[in-house]
Amino acid sequence: MEKKAEELRNVALVAHVGSGKTSLAEAMLFNGKATTRPGRVDDGTSNLDFEPEEIKRGITISTSFHNLTWKKHTINLIDTPGDDNFLSDTKFSLQAADGVVVVIDATAGVKVGTEKVWSFADEQGLSRIIFINKLDRERADFFKVVEEASRTFEIKATPVFIPIGTEDKFEGLVDLIKKKAYLYRKDGSGKFESSDVPADMEAVVEEWREKMMENIVEVSDELMEKYLEGEELSPNDIEETFTQGVKSGMIVPMVCGSATLNMGVPQLMDLIIQGLPSPLERGSQEGAKPGSEEVVERPSSADAPFSALVFKTLADPFAGKLTLLRVLSGTLQSDSTFYNANKEVKEKFGQLLLMEGKKQRSVEMAGPGDIVAIAKLKQTSTGDTLCSENDPVIYESAEPLSPVISYAVGAKVKGSEDKVFTSLAKLLEEDPALKMERDQSTAEIVLSGSGQIHLEATCEKLKRKFGVEVDLRPVKVPYRETIKKSVQKVIYRHKKQTGGRGQFAEVHFDLSPLEKGAGFEFDEALSGMNVPRSFVPAVEKGLNEALTSGILAGYPIVDLKVRFYDGKSHDVDSSEMAFKIAARMCLKKAMQEANPAMLEPIMEMEITVPEEVMGDVMGDLNGRRGRVLGMDSEGRYQVIKAQVPMAEVLMYALDLNSLTGGRGTFWMKHSHYEEVPAQLTEKVIAASQERE
pLDDT tens for 376-399 read: 898 899 999 999 988 999 999 999
Q: Check if the beta carbon of residue 91 is closer than 8 Å to that of residue 120.
A: yes
- Residue 351, φ and ψ in degrees, nearest 5: -80, 150
The β-bridge partners of 354 are 361
Q: 3 pLDDT exceeds 60?
A: no
| Sequential DSSP letters for 463-491 | HHHH---EEEEEPPP--EEEESS-EEEEE
pLDDT tens for 162-194 read: 999 988 999 999 999 999 999 999 888 999 999
pLDDT tens for 498-526 read: 767 789 999 999 999 999 889 999 999 99
- Residue 399, φ and ψ in degrees, nearest 5: -105, 140
Q: 433 pLDDT exceeds 50?
A: yes
> Which stretches of 342-439 are DSSP H helices?
417-430
Rounded to whole angstroms, the Cα distance separating 232 from 195 reads: 23
pLDDT tens for 537-551 read: 999 999 999 999 999
* Least trusted range by pLDDT, from 24-38, 321-335, 434-448, 544-558: 434-448
pLDDT at 49: 63
Dihedral Cα 109, 111, 113, 118, nearest 10 deg? 70
Classify residue 31 as exposed, middle or buried by CB count within 10 Å of its CB (0-12, 13-18, 19+): buried
Tell which residue, 123, 114, 130, has the closest CA to residue 276: 130
> Which stretches of 97-198 are DSSP H helices?
112-124, 142-153
Domains and CATH numbers, the chain: 2-281 (3.40.50.300), 288-387 (2.40.30.10), 405-474 (3.30.70.870), 481-594 (3.30.230.10), 600-691 (3.30.70.240)
Q: 691 pLDDT exceeds 80?
A: no
pLDDT tens for 193-227 read: 999 999 999 999 999 999 999 999 999 998 999 88
User: Longest Cα pair distance anywhere in the chain, in angstroms?
Assistant: 118
- 507-535 burial string, b = 16+ CB within 10 Å, else e? bbbbbbbeeeeeebeeeeebeeeebeeeb
pLDDT at 83: 82
Rounded to whole angstroms, the Cα distance separating 125 from 540 reads: 61
Rounded to whole angstroms, the Cα distance separating 9 from 69 reads: 10
pLDDT at 50: 67
Nearest 5°: the CA angle 640, 111, 30 is 145
pLDDT at 392: 92
Q: 153 pLDDT exceeds 50?
A: yes
pLDDT at 317: 65
At 78 the three-state DSSP class reads strand
Percent of the chain's residues with pLDDT above 90: 58
Tell which residue, 90, 27, 85, has the closest CA to residue 64: 90
